Amino acid sequence: MSSSEQLPKNEENTKNAEHVVTRRLKAPYLSGFILRIMIFLMDYMPGVTKYLFWNAGLKALRKLSIDDCPTLIPLPLPKETFGIVETKTVDGLEIFEKQKNLRQKNYYSSGFLRASDFHEAYLAKRVTPLQVCEVLINKIDESLKRCNPPLNAIIKYKRDDIIAQATASTERYANNKSFGLLDGIPIAVKDEIDVKGYETNVGTKFINRGNPATSDATIIERLREKGAIILGKTSMHEIGFGSTNNNPSVCTPRNPYNTDYYPGGSSGGSGVAVASGLCPIAIGRDGGGSVRIPSSFCGIYGLKTTCGRFSDDGLYPLAHSVAVSGPMAASVDDLALAYYVMAGKDPKDPNTLHQPLPTLHGLYDTNTLSDLKIGVYSMWNKQVDNPAITTALNSFINELKLRGAEIIEIKIPELEEARIAHLLTIGTELTTVAKRHKDKIHLFSCPTRSNINVMKLATASYKVIMQVFECNNSLAKTVNLKQFLLLLVVSQQIRTRIMRTLKNLFNNQVDLILTPATAITAPKIYPRALAHGEVDVTVISDTLRFIQLANFTGVPAVSIPAGYDNNNLPIGLQFIAKWYDEAKLLRIAKTSEEILGDKRRKPSDKFWFGNYVQEVSENFSGES
């Protein structure tokens, strides 16, 4: 199937919903000197900015007349959580830890170690957390300084802090007082999440510079309570405003499967840290696929949780209505483990207080899927630009059928409108953040400044819009303020409508929805983009095509590895579930892990660091 057969080529096609589900954006690739010229034109010729704003398809919303009330935060009503199985009346983590035989069933490590592998080695006294971390610190250093090109995954770490955590964990194991499966497990954290003693720079050169966090975010605090060793901070796309993790301001991480390609973003450093074997678990944040895109491109598992499932306490407020935190892991067991520990109510975040109890119910019920109905929107799923993705998707559908799952053809109307509305929402929220630093706008990279210039036309509050207009009188003359405010209101009305559509689908037709994770595999890195950045609208469009729906509506979704293309780049698929039904996503991800089996690959030895435990103890192996 050729690219031209699968992708919409122009706006006219969007009039026929039977042929085009979401529009593919196209614009010239910009980098280097040409990009700097474009930034100059956008700064001083507002008509250019206005053209780019409308070229993104945003004018389509002007024609809509919607009666629904706007939804500002996609939290489901408490009644929508009825029917979610709650099993935390007993300690679900304790049950999980006792299921050793089930964890070993049909698990092919391919070299990737799990938390349980570390834990069992610690219990058997074959190795200690301190021994592991002493070697691991050298591996992190090697990945940054002696690796060509550097992977740029974990970019901020403190040797003394890691050693102190590892020493405490080693003492607990020595005294038979381990905190459980996470005790002594190294975990990396995206630079959008507060870790005590570290600056939260959100991928910039200046935000919070010289102002380290004085406490952990709630989700990090919960990991520490279980004994996890927090390694430090991972690289990210500048203020999360992109999907490749190209970051000329700080550094650009490389895909360990092929370092000439991006790892995806904006949690790219977390994805690389896991995929290269530096740690079995990392934490990301997902406002427009920022957990699932790098998980897909790097061949690991990534969970975008329900809005309100994880506490936002201690998170830098980049895109509050669409972004959630989520675990990224080399195995589904560790994805489930990290999810369960971090999830739950937090008095410091009111949005978490009405959720049902988190559960790992049914995680290992993988032999038969006869109780599951999986929705497939074939017309949407065909909109990919790499035939290998379609092949992997069809292969997985056949495997799911063999296990008894019922595959149901579905339609989701207004996906193009939802795409536009999500773009407006996340763009204006990120631009509002940037405007807090309006005296330092020049310190952002050219791609970020380009995004800010486009989205400032629709900044999501009247006050901030007026500030923008006061700074640029010529812009005020070309823009109809009421028009843009109307677009923002319509966007949130669309959110209400698409949430209702998904509610009806999940209540009446399907348990899960299956899509590709992205329409492409990892995009290529052009050398000039490393120094100056780039703007590639088509790549952004292709990476976000199947991703945005879950962010905009607040439902959970998981990215799973499903194979590799001809360049040895990982292919990812996505499952979407009803609000708060992460347990069902983890179950289908576990099934998918068994389906992929021994076909899973680790990166080449040059960019693989997951053997550091074996260097400490030759007797330690993750193989069952």
138 and 618 Cβ atoms separated by less than 8 Å: no
Provide the residue range defining the domain that includes 428: 19-73+414-496
Domain assignment of residue 44, yes or no: yes
* pLDDT 10s digits, 152-204: 999 999 999 999 999 999 999 999 999 999 999 999 999 999 999 999 999 99
Q: For residues 12 and 473, what is the distance between their CA atoms, to the nearest angstrom? A: 34
Q: Are residues 429 and 407 in the same domain?
A: no
* Range 41-60 average pLDDT: 70
314 and 193 Cβ atoms separated by less than 8 Å: yes
- Does residue 455 surpass a pLDDT of 90? no
Q: Are residues 381 and 510 in the same domain?
A: yes
Domain assignment of residue 468, yes or no: yes
Tell me which of 475, 496, 517 is where a domain ends. Answer: 496
**What's the pLDDT at 43?**
77
Closest alpha carbon to 245 in 298, 290, 194? 290
517 and 293 Cβ atoms separated by less than 8 Å: yes
Tokens representing residue 66 in the block: 């919607």
Q: Are residues 353 and 466 in the same domain?
A: no
Q: Are residues 537 and 464 in the same domain?
A: no
- Does residue 274 surpass a pLDDT of 80? yes
Q: Find the range with the poorest average confidence among 83-92, 316-325, 518-527.
A: 83-92
- Does residue 623 surpass a pLDDT of 60? no
Domain assignment of residue 623, yes or no: no
261 forms beta bridges with 524
* pLDDT 10s digits, 212-231: 999 999 999 999 999 999 99
**What's the pLDDT at 8?**
36
Tell me which of 478, 496, 514 is where a domain ends. Answer: 496
Q: Find the range with the poorest average confidence among 279-283, 320-324, 375-379, 433-437.
A: 433-437
Active-site positions read 190, 266, 290
Q: Give the other-Cβ count within 10 Å of 320's Cβ.
A: 17
Tell me which of 461, 480, 496 is where a domain ends. Answer: 496
**What's the pLDDT at 409?**
99
**Region of 563 on the Ramachandran plot (φ > 0 left; ψ -120 to 50 alpha; else beta):** left
- Does residue 148 surpass a pLDDT of 90? yes
**What's the pLDDT at 436?**
87
**What's the pLDDT at 475?**
41
Q: How many CA atoms lie within 13 A of 389 on its CB side?
A: 30
560 forms beta bridges with 573
**What's the pLDDT at 273?**
99
Q: Are residues 163 and 273 in the same domain?
A: yes
Q: Are residues 513 and 545 in the same domain?
A: yes
Banded model confidence at residue 440, pLDDT cuts 50, 70, 90: very high
Number of H helices and E strands in the chain, helices first, is 24, 13
**What's the pLDDT at 93?**
73
Tokens representing residue 210 in the block: 């010289």
* pLDDT 10s digits, 379-415: 999 999 999 999 999 999 999 999 999 999 999 999 9
Domain assignment of residue 621, yes or no: no
Q: Are residues 566 and 423 in the same domain?
A: no
* Range 133-139 average pLDDT: 97
- Does residue 377 surpass a pLDDT of 50? yes
Share the mean pLDDT of the chain. Answer: 88
Q: Could you give the number of structural domains in the chain?
A: 2
* Range 244-256 average pLDDT: 98
The CA radius of gyration of the chain, in Å to the nearest whole number, is 23
Banded model confidence at residue 87, pLDDT cuts 50, 70, 90: very low
Tokens representing residue 488 in the block: 């923002």
Q: Are residues 539 and 465 in the same domain?
A: no
Banded model confidence at residue 80, pLDDT cuts 50, 70, 90: low
Q: Are residues 228 and 304 in the same domain?
A: yes
Banded model confidence at residue 480, pLDDT cuts 50, 70, 90: low
State how beta strands 229-234 and 186-190 pair. Answer: parallel
Q: Are residues 431 and 302 in the same domain?
A: no
Q: Are residues 264 and 319 in the same domain?
A: yes
**What's the pLDDT at 1?**
34
127, burial (CB in 10 Å: exposed 0-12, middle 13-18, buried 19+):
buried
Domain assignment of residue 446, yes or no: yes
Q: Give the other-Cβ count within 10 Å of 63's Cβ.
A: 8
The helix or strand, by DSSP H or E, that contains position 346, with its residue range, turns out to be: none
Measured in whole angstroms, the distance separating CA 469 from the mean position of its chain's CA atoms is 34
Q: Find the range with the poorest average confidence among 38-52, 535-549, 596-610.
A: 38-52
Q: Are residues 404 and 419 in the same domain?
A: no
CATH number of residue 179's parent domain: 3.90.1300.10
**What's the pLDDT at 137?**
98
Tokens representing residue 308 in the block: 């309100």
Domain assignment of residue 29, yes or no: yes
Domain assignment of residue 616, yes or no: no
Q: What percent of the chain has pLDDT over 90?
A: 71
Domain assignment of residue 4, yes or no: no
